[in-house]
Amino acid sequence: MSDQKPHVEHLDVQPFLQTVCDGMQVGELLCRDNFNLHDAMIAVEIGDSKMDVGLRRGDTRSLGELIAAGLAPVDISLESQLAVIDKLMCMEATWHNGVVLSQTVFTSLYLLDTARLENTNPVLHATALGIRSTCTLLHDGIVAGQVVDDEDMLLHSFGFRLDSPGSKSVKIAIAALQNVIETLRKTTDTDTTEDVQDIQAIISRFQFRIILLQLLDATYPATEKSIALAAELCRKACEVLDSFSKFKILSSEILDSVPGFCPEVHRKAMGLVPPRSVTVPSFNNAVQHWKDTLQLLGDACSWLGSCTRWRDLRSNLVSFAATPKNLPIARSLVHRAIVSPIKNAQNAAAAAHAAQAATDSKQSTADGNTDATSNLNNSGAAKKLEELPKWCPSPSMFAAEFGWPSDPASSISSPDAAMFIEQCAIAVQGWCHTMCLNRCRQRRRLRRLLEDWRNMTDHAFNAESSGGVQDYFTQHKWNWQAVDGENNPLAGPVTAWVESEAAKTMGAHIMLGFQLDLYYPYEYCVMYWYCDYLYGSEQGAMEELANMRPKLIVAGNKHRGSGGGSVGKGKKQGRVGSSLSATTASLAAKHEEESVAATSMVLKVDRMMCQAMMRLCLGLEWLNLLPSPPARPFNTEKEHFVSRFSSFEQLIRPPPLSYEDFKRSTNPGEITPQRVLLAAYEALATAQSTIAALEASPVIKQLPEYQRKHVNGMKRIAMQNMMGVKLLVTSLGDGGGINSKSAVIKGGGGKEAPPAFVVGWDFKVAFQHSAVAFYPALVLKTKK
C-alpha cells in the first residue's frame, strides 16, 4: 500500500455560514432536504457546554489522580471534619429530592476510598462507613419497596459499588462510629474550647447516624417487635436532630469550601447526558428534611403496630397517602413492611411444599407405588400465613369482616368463600401498593384497580351462592335470606362489602384529579355529579351491610346464687369470664354501630357538598360566568364524557352511569339560574346542619383523625360558599334575595343579566384538610 497521503484541501466556510446567518431571523432554523429539524437541533447543542457533555469528558481525572492532586486531604482540622460530615448530610437530602448519587453523596472522594482513612483519620473513616451504609440500606429498601420511580428519587449508581446487602457492613459502621465517640469523649478534657465545640458537634452527628442505621436495619424483616422498635428509634433520632441546635452549626460558606468533593469524578461513567443542575440545601434544611422523613416513618410504624382490622389499615393508609410531605423513603419502607412478610411467608410455604413433595415422591418410590399422587398437606402454608404480622392484608383479615373462620374451605365447607378471601387479600395488597405511590401514579393505578373489584364482585356472588356460606349466615343470625335463581339481586353481605370498596376506589380516582389539577372548571359539574352518585352507592352499601349483620343482645346477669349457698371456684371463674366476654362483645358491637353511623353522616355531608357544587357550577354556567370549554374538533361532549369514565363501565356494582344520565340530571327545563343557585345554597345549608349534628354527637369520636379534619374543612368551605352564593343571588337584580325562591332574573330586553363578577375557585382549604375529597371555595372578584 502506498504511504502517500491523500491530498486534502481545507476550505474556509465561515463566509458562507455568515451569509446564511445574516439572511435568517431570530428563532428560525435552517431546513433543507439534507438538513432536517433533528440535524438543526444537534447543531444547536454541539459546542454548548451546558448541552454537549462530550466537550468535557476528556478533561475528567480518575479518582487516583484527584486524590494524588491533594483534593481529599486527610490531615484536616476538626472544624473541616465537621464540615465534611455536615456537607454529606446536605448531599443526602439532595439525593432524596431527586438528584443521582453520583452527583450528590458520592461526589465525596472520602467515600470512594475508605481504606486509606482507616489509619489516618478515624473520624472521616467512620463518617464514610456510616454514610455508605445509610445509602445502601436506603437504596435496598427503596428497591424492595417497589413504589418509587425516577420522578420521585433516582437510584442509579452509574457503576460505583455500594456496600454488600445485609447487616455485616452496618455493624462495622456502627462499631466504628461508637469507637470514635468514645475516643473523642476522652480528649475533651485536654482540648481547647474551640476543639471541644467541634467534638461535641461531631459526637451529636455520630449519635444520630448510629440511631439511623439501627432504625433502617430494624425495618427489615418487618415483625411486630421490629416495627415497634423502629417507631421508638424514629422518636430518638428526632430528639437527637433537635439537639443539633445546641451545638456548633457551620455557615454555608464553610460548607461550600470544604475539601474532598469533586462533582466531575463520575462524569465518564454517566454517559452523554447533560448534567442535572444540583441545588444543595442548607444544613438546617437538611436537618428538617431528615426530621420530616423520620416523623412520617415513625408515625407509620406506630399505626402499623396498632392495625388489626382492614378498616384500620385502610383509614391509616389513606391518611398516610395524603400527607403533604409524602416522602419516597417513608412510602417505600412502609410498603415493604406491609408486603415483605407476605412474600417471605409465601416463599417459606413454597419451599416446605416442595420439600414435602420430594419426601412423598421418595416414599412412594420406595413402596413401589410410582403412580400414586402425593396428597400434600398444606397446613404448613396456612400456618405460615396465619403467623403474619397483624397489619398484613391476609385472608384471615378479610374472613374476620364476615365472622368467618380463617379457613372457610374446611370449617364452613365453602371453597368459594376461601377463594373470595384469598383473592380479596391479593386485591387489597395491590391497593396498598397504590396508596404508597406518588399522587400522580396513584390516580392511574386506582383506575387499573377497578378490574380487581370487578372480579371480586364475581367471587362475592359465588361465595354467597354457596350453601356453606348461606348456612353460616343463617346459623349466626345474619339478616339476609338468599334467593335462588334470577331473583337473587347480588345484594348479600359479601357483595355489599365489595360494592362499598369499589365505590371508594372510583370516588378517589375522580377526586385526585382535582388535586392534580387535571380538570377544567367547566368539568367540575360532571365530576361532582358522578361523585354524588358514588358516595350514595358507598353509603347505601355500607348501611345495607350494617343492617344485615347480626344484632348482639347481651342478657342481664342471671348467674346469681340462691339461698345464700356458696358457689364453686371453677364455676365462678367461668361465669366471670363469660360475663367479661359478653361485655367485650357488647362494646365492640356498640363501637361498630357508632362507627357506621358517623361514617354515614360524613358521606351524607360529602353528598350535599357534591350536589351543591354541581348546582353551583350549573348556575354559573347558565349565567356565562364560567370559562367556555375549548373547541373540540375531534370529539363531542359525549365522547369526552366516555373518555373520562370509560374505565367505570366494567363494573357491575355500583352500576356505571352514562352520558344520557348526566344530561337528564342537568336538564334545566324552565328552571332559572337563580333557582339553581338557591338549590345550591340549600344543599350547603343541609351540609352545615349535618356537620353541626355530627359534632354534637358522641359518635364523632369513632371517626379517624383524617375524617374529622375533613369535616372541619367542609364546614369552612360550606360557610364561605354560602356567603358567595348569597352575594351572587342578591346581585342578580330585582327580587334577588336569598329567600326569594320564585324570583325571575331578567335584564334589559328580557335577557338574563349576569352579575358583574369574575368567578374563581380556591382549593387551598380543601387540600389542607382533606385526604380523598376536595371541594373548592367560591371566589368572587368585581369586574373592573
For residue 348, the model assigns a pLDDT of 80
For residue 769 the three cell numbers come to: 384538610
The pLDDT of residue 733 is: 60
Residue 628 confidence (pLDDT): 78
pLDDT given for residue 278 in this prediction: 84
CA gap 301, 423 in Å, rounded:
26
Q: How far is CA 95 from CA 82, 256, 680, in A?
A: 20, 17, 48
Instruction: Give tens-digit pLDDT for 153-204.
Output: 888 877 777 888 878 899 999 999 999 999 999 887 666 677 889 999 999 9
> Which parts of the chain have pLDDT scores under 70?
1-6, 44-59, 189-192, 269-276, 326, 360-386, 482-490, 552-586, 588, 633, 733-755, 784
Q: How far apart are CA 224 and CA 485, in angstroms?
A: 47
- Rg (C-alpha) for the chain, rounded Å, is 34
- For 311, the grid coordinates are 378498616
The pLDDT, as a whole number, for residue 221 is 85
Neighbours of 467 (CB within 10 A): 12
Handedness of CA 482, 486, 487, 490 (dihedral sign): positive
Residues paired with 779 in a beta bridge: 760
Q: Which three cell numbers stand for residue 599?
A: 361514617
- Phi and psi angles of residue 477, each rounded to the nearest 5 degrees, phi first: 65, 35
For the chain, domain boundaries: 20-59, 63-309, 545-552+589-784
Distance, CA of 286 to CA of 291 (rounded, Å): 9
Q: Are the beta carbons of 207 and 240 closer than 8 angstroms?
A: yes
Strand residue runs (E) in 680-776: 757-762
Predicted model pTM = 0.83
Decide: helix, strand or coil at residue 599. Answer: helix
Q: How many CA atoms lie within 13 A of 445 on its CB side?
A: 17
Q: How much helix, strand and coil, in percent to the nearest 5, is found in the chain?
A: 65, 0, 35
Closest CA to 252 of 293, 281, 215: 281
H helix or E strand, kind and range, residue 782: strand 777-782
Residue with cell 403533604: 324
Residue 190, C-alpha cell as written in the block: 485536654
